[in-house]
Every structure is written in structure tokens, then in C-alpha cells.
Chains A and B, each alone.
Chain A
Amino acid sequence: MAAPTMPKQNSAQRPLRPKSRELPFPLNLYQTAVGKKWVMAVTGIILLGFVISHMVGNLKLYIGVVEHNGELDYDANVYGEFLREILVPILPRTVFLWIIRGVLIAAFALHIHAMYALTLMNQASNKVYTSKRDWLAANYASRSMRYSGVIVLVYLVFHLADLTWGWIPGYDFERGHVQENVVGSLSNPVVAAVYIVANVLLSIHIFHGAYSMFQSLGVNNPSYNAIRRHLATALALIVLVGNVSFPIAVLAGIINADALS
């Protein structure tokens, strides 16, 4: 049974996913997991930026009525109007807002596609243990990213239908009347509950995400690494407190639309 010398078949000869042809820059970055993670981090930062500023903007709900070009209106509505007016007359009305929206939509799309691709890759590579695992570092947040993410996505669709398109029955939606809409919508305890749950999960998502993104981007320097964890925790807390406060404040009547009605 003499046979010619030949390397024996072992796991190294059976790659799970043989290397595919490399696409031109910058597409080649997105071909690999490390590249995808980099994209996730960048889009993550964009989304973070949006969530934070969106929250800050929404704080105007607390201000209530202000005087605007001679007449009284809710500050939140004024703000909503302001968003549509940015860069007018350089650009026509809402164009700038649509640019922002474009960026956001793209960020969401990439972020979600990357997460989808990586999830498949990891599930294909991993074999689960039969005996019970004893986690030492992985926390609830890091292990539930894909679920918290999906829930945020679902919430987002609901949220747009609710406050942007006004498809959710239960109150009479009026475009541009942000304060009335929010109060109308969130005074329904069920809707408020949805908002609270979703935003708690978003905070959990950010708790790991905002730390993880530094590693994915290779932003690491032993002299300031300690800060990264704290920063992520802080961001998560800010979003948590800020966003969860709105539904509660509405239910408690602190945010209301009584002033002009």
C-alpha cells in the first residue's frame, strides 16, 4: 500500500469560506469581517450622533409654548419647522433635511446588512457546547446585540409610522404639530410602554456598541483605554434617561398640549 508522499487532509485543507476575488477599493474593505465591523462602527457612530441630537431636540417638548414670528407656538413644533428650513434659501425647503435623512437611511442599511452578514458568518463558524458555559467577560449587552438591534429596528418603523407618517390610530395626527402628536400618541399607555421598552434596549445596545466600536476602529491606546468603557456607559445612560423620560413625562402630564387648545 505504498503511496506517493502527499500532505494529509486536515482541517486546514478545508476552509469554511475560500477566499473570493477581491473587489476594487473601497468595496474590498466590505468583503471581509474586519472591514464590515469597521463599517458597523462608523455607521454606529452616525446613528449614535443622530440618536443623541434627536434626543436633545426632543427636550424642547418640555419647554412648551414660545413666541415665534409674532404668534405663539410650541417650541418643539418650531424646532421641527426649523429642521425643514435649514439652509433655506441656499437650498429649497427640506432639501437639507432630506440629505440628512439620506445619510441616516444609508447608515441604517449598511449597519443592518453588516450585522446580518456577520451574524450568518459567526453562526456558521461556531459549534455550541453541550455542557453549560460559564461566561467571564461577555455580558448580557454584548451577547444580545443582534436582538436589541432588531427590536430597535422594529421600533423605528413603528415610530415613523406613528409620529412621522401618522398611520397609527388613537389620536389625530397633524403634520408639523410635533407637540400635539407626541402627547396624543404617548398618552396611550400601551404606546408609551412600547417607547420605554424600545429605548431601554437601545441603551443596552449602545452600552456595548459604543465600547465595541473603538476596538473595531482600532482606536486603542493603553493610556486612555479606561475612558472608553466609561464613555460607552455614559452615552447609554444619557439616551436611557433622556428618551425614557418623554413617555413618562407625557403620562405624568408634565409634557402636555393644553396650552394652545
Chain B
Amino acid sequence: MLPDSKIPAGPMADKWDNHKFDIKLVNPANKRKFKVIVVGTGLAGASAAATLGELGYDVHAFTFHDSPRRAHSIAAQGGINAAKNYRNDGDSVYRLFYDTVKGGDYRSREANVYRLAQVSVDIIDQMAAQGVPFAREYGGLLDNRSFGGAQVSRTFYARGQTGQQLLLGAYQQMMRQVDVGKVQLHTNQEMLDVVVKDGHACGIVTRDLTNGDVRSHSAHAVVLATGGYGNVFYLSTNAMACNVTAAWRAHRKGAYFANPCYTQIHPTCIPVSDEFQSKLTLMSESLRNDGRIWVPRSPDESRAGNDVPEADRYYYLEEKYPAFGNLVPRDVASRNAKTVVDQGMGVGPLKNGVYLDFSEAVGRDGRDVIEAKYGNLFQMYERITGEDPYVLPMRIYPATHYTMGGLWVDYNLMTSIPGLYSTGESNFSDHGANRLGASALMQGLADGYFVLPYTIGDYLAPQLGQDPVSTDDPAFQAAEKGVNDQINHFLSIGGTKSPDYFHRELGKLVWDYIGMARNQNGLEKAITEIRALRDEFWKDVRVLGENETLNSSLEKAGRVADFFELGELMARDALDRRESCGGHFREESQTEENEALRDDENFAHVSAWEWNGEDSPQTKHAEDLQFEEVKLTQRSYK
């Protein structure tokens, strides 16, 4: 059964403060006696490791990257939200809270979201103090932009590299703790299992990617800040190494996995160009502020984009949504692009994209203005496609971008395994069924800087005086054996197809059946086909080389194996949720204007799935969502 979500009593605005007062504290002198493992050094992990180190805990940070600065947070472009109201445009903690709950289509916990909005303010102060070079105005004060269709300008940014600058800030703060010896950094170490003893998380097992060394590490508590699982789609805007392994192995050890079917598809990415395509590149959302989205009316249009006369152009978003036009939310924009492409109106050599046209904007503001705003993006586009967006309209298509689902956590960010925490994109909290632009960076830093460092004390305090479980304990031995067995098994299969081949095939299934639009048959098909492919994988995967050196096929094989199991759970979750909400669109449940139609009667809950072993499907636990502050309404952007 589902553990208590520990949401504090009292009025929304006071919950977090009350909670901080009520939870147990660890006396400063005792903190060094507690060993905490942090897996992942992205925004969520690095900020947590740094802060825990500052507080005096004995922190051990792990990453499979060769440097913490490689974490995928580095790729975030657009910006980070905060309810600073520096623009005096009526923003407030309450509005950010409200927008986030509404944007998430009423499928997130009010208390968590409110706390997120509260601490968002401190994040900007903290990052500025660390020397993050946020964009500024001539007066020297911080600049803001409005982002992802928000009605206020609350997004802070550092050129097109906000994620990079924030991650470097957190990374540098962590390296400072490494320098003073409070944080021990373990790079090139991939976590392959969580160790649980007497129902409590007591450590992890890692493999050194450079020399295959499998080791156990024990601690009083373990934090997973291991990012999202978007790469289950094979093609996504995520970095190549992003994977679900850490979270999934935790799930197999008893951590519930929540809302796996909530995935976000970003509307403006560069379309696939050939079958060798390895990843998709995001084109910042801000482009939709000036670009007009259209496709030719006739499916057999042969003229180049700039030669098609106005009459033959179909500005489908502007026609369908006069009010919001090209600025409708991500999920709406994405689904409509899919519809027109499916109707054969797609553009480009593979007819797999839609036009994002700047000719009007250039005509209106002049090329210089547009260049100043989007110069670097246009350059990136030209570098990748070889087409000049000033001449030919840009081609874009939706791509997987973010995963709202993840490990279930309570208000303290603790998973259903006591002592195991999850922060950042790897947990499910805060974004509901759809994430607002520029809110993921905010959440990662909120968790790592301002939430976990307090809440973890509540679990640690009672353990004062106990040593961490010894790594010679049978529990560790068993975990290590499991890891070694899997490695040896992969090396011994000697099949015919590479792990990448299976990943690519899996990705196609997930994209076709569990992508932008889902339906009963498709999802049932997905389950059987994923199963079949998975069996083939275990029989026919080819992993060459040995364990004792860098071996990317071996790493990949383990990650793909977990993606298979995740993909199946995603399908089952999507099948179970017979409503449409945010990023999850069930064709069976839509309004006559083809908008997502929620079913609050039966589905105003979080679906947390419990692992029951390989051969029997997970059981679902429902956490009902109470809405005291926000009243549920049907989203409409007409």
C-alpha cells in the first residue's frame, strides 16, 4: 500500500514553514557522522551535494559522466522561472503556483507546487550570488522574458545557455566542497543497483565505466538525482547518455514509479533527416513569438516553401485558435502538427515537418531585429540542416523533450523506500501531466538547494550513533552478484544485433503507440510488441569486448534492458488512464474541438506502480489529489 504523502496540515501558504519547524533536526556537530550518497550531479544532484556538504554531512557524489559539468542540465536553453515580479506585471508566488497547477492539467500536488513557487524566489538570489551571468538590462538589473505562453514575464535567462550557466554554478559550488573535503566526487561511476536492508536503503553498487570495477558503497541515506527517461523514445532532445537505469533499478527494489505515461513532446525541434539520425535538436520555444506556423493546403504541393502563395498556405494554429494562435501550449501545438503531417501535408524531403516562417517578421521588424533575437538559433539550424532560415521557412516537428513521470516521492522527496530520496526530473512531483517551460530548472534547484537538505534530516536524526551497513553485508554481496551476473550474461549472449538496433526499434514502437496520441488498441499492441522485441533482445543482442575496459555497448545494453521494462509500464499506465490530460492524450477522450478531455471523477489521482518481479505486472496504487486552492476547469485556448 502507498506510504503517507506527508503533506503538512494548515493553510497552503504556511505548510512549508510549519513543516520546516516540525521536522527533526540534526545537530551541527553530529552532521559529519552521517554519510549521504548523491547519485547524479546535474542541477538537482550538484545543488544537493553542495548544500549537504556545506551543512556538514559526509557526502559522496556519483556520476557516470567524466565530469559533473556534463550532466544533461547543461543543455537547457530557454530559462528558469521565478516569482520575483521584477517586471511589476502582477506576478506572485500564488500566480506561479496557480499557473503550474493549471499547466499541469490539475494532476500535481498543490502543496508541492506551492512550495516550489515559494522557493523559486531564493533560487535566483542564490544563483546570482554565485556569479551566474544572467542577462541584464543597461541599468544593470536582471532581465526577464515571457516563456511558453505565460501571461507574465518571469523567466530569467543567460543567453541561450541558461541550463549551462546554472549547472556550472551548482557544479562550482559542489567543487568548492570537494576542495574542502566535505564532498567526495566519484566520476565515471554508473550506479547499477540500490541496496536495501530491512526495508531501508543503505547503499548502492556502481560500475567504473573506465575499467569495469564493480563496487559497493554504503551510507545512511541515498539520493537519486538521475534525470529523466525521455530516451525511451530513442530519438529525443535528451543527451545520448540519459537513461532510466538508476530510477528503474530502484523501482525493481521496491520504489514506486509514478505516472510513467506523462511525457512531454516539444513542438519546435528539427525534423528527422535520415535513418542514421541519433538525436533531435530543440529549437527554442521563443521562436514561436515571431514565427508563423503553416503547411501547404494541398498534400501534393511541390513548390519550395517561399514560393507557395498565401492562398495555398494553411496557418492551422492561427485558424483553429484565434486567441492564442501560434503560442498555444506545447501539447496543443505538438498534436496539431502531428495531425496535419498525418494528413499528408507535411513538408521537407521526408514530408515530416511543418513550416515555421519568419518572412513576415523579417518584413515587419527588419532582418537585424530578428537576427539580434534569434541569430544563434538560426545559425544552429543552418549548421544542422544546411538551409538558410532567412530565405527558406524553417522546418520543425515535435520531439520528446521531458518526462513528468518518475519515482514516486512524498512531501519530503523520499521514495516509497525509506532512506531513498529522489530529486529533479527523476521524481514525479510538481509538474503534473504537463510541465511549463522554464520550470524544470527551477524544480531541480528547488529540490537540491532548498528542500532536500532540510527534509533529509528528519530521516537521519533518529539514526544517530548507528554506522552505515557494512559493504560485506549479504545484502551488498547479493546486489553485487546481480550486477556481475547481468554483465557476464550480456557478454555471453553473442547475438547478432547491436544494443543500438534494439533501442532504435523500441523507440519506434514507443513513439508510434505511446507518443503524442494514444488509444486502446495501440497501447495493447505496444505491450505485446515491446514484449516480443524484449525477448528477442535477451536472445539476440550482441555485446562485444570485455568488462574490464571502457565498453559503451555493454553500458548501452544494460540501459536498453531497463527501457524495455519501462516502455511496457508506460503503455500499461497510459492504458489504465482512460482520460486525456496534459501530455497524455487518449483519442477516446477528447472534446469536439479535439482538445484533451479530463475525467476528474475517476482520474484526479497519481498512479504509483509497484514492482512485482519480472513475470507479473506491476500493481497500481492511487494517490488521490485534493484541490483546496485551485478549482478544476477545462483548459481552452480558443
List residues of chain A with CB under 8 Å of any chain B CB: 1-5, 7-8, 10
The stretch among B208-216, B376-384, B513-521, B536-544 that forms the contact with chain A is B208-216
Q: Which residue of A lies closest to B37 (CB)?
A: A5
> Of all chain B residues, which has the CB nearest A12?
B187
What is the chain A residue whose CB lies nearest that of B216?
Answer: A2
B480 near A8 (CB under 8 angstroms)?
Answer: no
Contact with A along B172-193 (1 / 0, CB 8 A): 0000000000001111110000
Residues of B within 8 A of A1 (CB): 214-215, 480
Measured between beta carbons, the chain B residues less than 8 angstroms from A3 are 215-216, 471
Q: What band does the interface of chain B fall in when counting residues whose beta carbon is under 8 Å from A? A: 20 to 34
Q: How far is the CA of A239 from the CA of B302 in the complex (A)?
A: 68
Is the CB–CB distance between B477 and A2 below 8 Å?
A: yes
Q: Contact: B185 with A2, CB < 8 Å? A: no
Q: Is B60 located at the chain interface by the 8 A CB criterion? A: yes
Q: Which residues of B contact A4 (CB under 8 A)?
A: 471
Give Cα A7 to B217, complex, Å: 11
- Whether A8 pairs with B186 at a CB distance below 8 angstroms is yes
6 shortest A-B CB distances, which residue pairs?
Answer: A2-B471, A5-B217, A2-B216, A2-B472, A3-B215, A2-B476
A1 to chain B, nearest CB (A): 7
Helix, strand, loop or mixed for chain A's interface? loop
CA distance A10 to B189 in the complex (A): 12
Closest chain A residue to B470, Cβ basis = A2
Q: Give B547 Cβ to nearest chain A Cβ, in Å.
A: 13
A8 to B188, CA, bound (A): 9
On chain A, the residues within 8 Å of B218 by CB distance are 5
Q: Do B480 and A5 touch across chains, with their CB atoms under 8 A apart?
A: no
Contact code string B467-499 (vs A, CB < 8 Å = 1, else 0): 000011000110010000000000000000000
**Contact bitstring B45-62, A, C-beta under 8 A = 1, else 0:** 000000000000000100
Q: Across the interface, do A7 and B216 meet the contact criterion of CB distance under 8 Å?
A: no
CB distance A10 to B187 under 8 Å?
yes
Number of A-B pairs whose CB atoms are under 8 Å?
33
Asked if residues A8 and B208 are in contact (CB atoms below 8 Å), the reply is yes
What residues of B have a CB within 8 angstroms of the CB of A8 in the complex?
Answer: 186-189, 208, 210, 213
Could you tell me the distance between the alpha carbons of A1 and B480 in the complex, rounded to whole angstroms? 9
Q: What residue of chain B has the Cβ atom nearest to residue A2's Cβ? A: B471
Q: Find out whether the CB atom of B215 lies under 8 angstroms from the CB atom of A2.
A: yes
Q: Enumerate chain A residues within 8 angstroms of B214, measured Cβ to Cβ.
A: 1
14 A-B contact pairs sorted by A residue (CB < 8 Å): A1-B214, A1-B480, A2-B216, A2-B477, A4-B471, A5-B184, A5-B186, A5-B215, A5-B218, A7-B186, A8-B186, A8-B188, A10-B187, A10-B210
Across the interface, name the chain A residue whose C-beta is closest to B205: A2
A5 CA to B220 CA in the complex, in Å? 14
Beyond A1-B215, A5-B184, A5-B215: 5 further Cβ-contacts under 8 Å?
A1-B480, A2-B215, A3-B471, A5-B60, A7-B184
Rounded to whole Å, the gap between the CB of B185 and the closest CB of chain A is 7
The answer to whether B215 touches A7, judged by C-beta atoms less than 8 angstroms apart, is: no
Q: Could you tell me if A2 and B188 are in contact, using CB atoms closer than 8 angstroms?
A: no
Q: Mark B323-340, 1 if CB is under 8 A from A, else 0.
A: 000000000000000000
Contacts of B217 in A (CB 8 A): 5
CA distance A3 to B218 in the complex (A): 10
Residue of chain A at shortest CB distance from B211: A8
A59-B413 Cα distance, complex, nearest whole Å? 83
State how many angstroms separate the Cβ of A89 from the closest Cβ of chain B.
Answer: 62
Looking at the assembled complex, report how far the CB atom of A14 sits from the nearest CB atom of chain B, in whole angstroms.
14
In the assembled complex, the Cα of A8 lies from the Cα of B218 at a distance in Å of 16
Minimum C-beta distance from B380 to chain A (A): 23
Of A2, A3, A7, A8, most B-chain CB atoms within 10 Å: A2
Nearest CB to that of A6 among chain B residues? B184
How far apart sit A1 and B213, CA to CA, in the bound complex (Å)?
A: 10
CB distance from B57 to the nearest CB of A (A): 14
Q: In the complex, which residue of chain A has the Cβ closest to the Cβ of B206?
A: A5
Closest to B479 in A: A2
Asked if A2 and B184 make an inter-chain contact with CB atoms under 8 angstroms apart, the answer reads no
User: In the complex, which residues of chain A have a beta carbon less than 8 angstroms from the beta carbon of B186?
Assistant: 5, 7-8
Q: Give the Cβ gap from B496 to chain A, nearest Cβ, in Å.
A: 33
Separation in Å of the B458 CB from the closest CB of chain A? 25
Q: How far is the CB of A15 from chain B (nearest CB, A)?
A: 15
Complex formed: what's the CA distance from A7 to B189 in Å? Answer: 10
**Cα A4 to Cα B60 with chains together (Å):** 12
A3 to B213, CA, bound (A): 10
- Measured between beta carbons, the chain A residues less than 8 angstroms from B210 are 8, 10
B488 to chain A, nearest CB (A): 14
- Chain B residue at minimal CB-CB distance from A5: B217
Chain A residues within 8 Å of B215, by CB: 1-3, 5
Which residue of chain A lies nearest to B214 when distances are taken between CB atoms in the complex?
A1
State how many angstroms separate the Cβ of B259 from the closest Cβ of chain A. 34
The residues of B that contact A7 with a CB separation of less than 8 Å are: 184-186
Distance in Å: Cβ of B374 to nearest Cβ of chain A: 26
Give chain B nearest CB distance to A30 CB in angstroms. Answer: 27
A2 close to B60 (CB less than 8 A): no
- State the Cβ distance, B14 to closest chain A Cβ, in Å: 40
Q: Which residue of A lies closest to B215 (CB)?
A: A3
Measured CB to CB, the closest approach of chain B to A98, in angstroms, equals 51
Output the nearest chain A residue to B178 by Cβ-Cβ distance: A7
B contact residues around A2 at 8 Å (CB) = 215-216, 471-472, 476-477, 480
When each residue 206-240 of chain B gets 1 if its CB lies under 8 Å from chain A and 0 otherwise, what string results? Answer: 00101001111110000000000000000000000
Residues of A within 8 A of B189 (CB): 8
Query: When chains A and B are docked, how far (Å) is the Cα of A3 from the Cα of B472?
Result: 8
Docked Cα-Cα span, A7 to B213, in Å, equals: 13
CA distance A100 to B121 in the complex (A): 65
CB-CB under 8 A from B476, the residues of chain A are 2
* A8 closest partner in B (C-beta): B208
- Docked CA distance A8–B214 (Å): 12
